[in-house]
Amino acid sequence: MNKMCQSCGMPLKRDPNGGGSNADGSKNSEYCSHCYVDGAFAQPDINAAEMRALCIENLVDGGVPKLMARLLTKGIPRLKRWRAH
């Protein structure tokens, strides 16, 4: 099992649902429940830079300092979802 979502980089242990869901309802161990729902990406048209900006915004809204949010998200373009493009 991956330790982090291969779309947004969130640690999967922090996912309240324990991971995304496949089309058959089973758990997906590569993507979190925010990114992957019922076998498809929740935001199919987003790119890596947009995903990083969204994650930074969500982290800052959650109380993470902006500099730390930028550091936490710098690896997003190297995750499996974005390498495929």
Instruction: Name 27's bridge partners.
Output: 21
**Residue 4 included in any domain:** no
Is residue 2 in a domain? no
Please count the structural domains in the chain.
Answer: 1
Q: Does residue 6 fall inside a structural domain?
A: no
**Per-position pLDDT tens, the chain of length 85:** 569 999 999 999 999 999 999 999 999 999 999 999 999 999 999 999 999 999 999 999 999 999 999 999 999 999 999 996 5
Residue 1 covered by a domain: no
Q: Environment class of residue 77 by beta-carbon count within 10 Å: exposed (0-12), middle (13-18) or buried (19+)? A: middle
Domain containing 74 equals 12-83
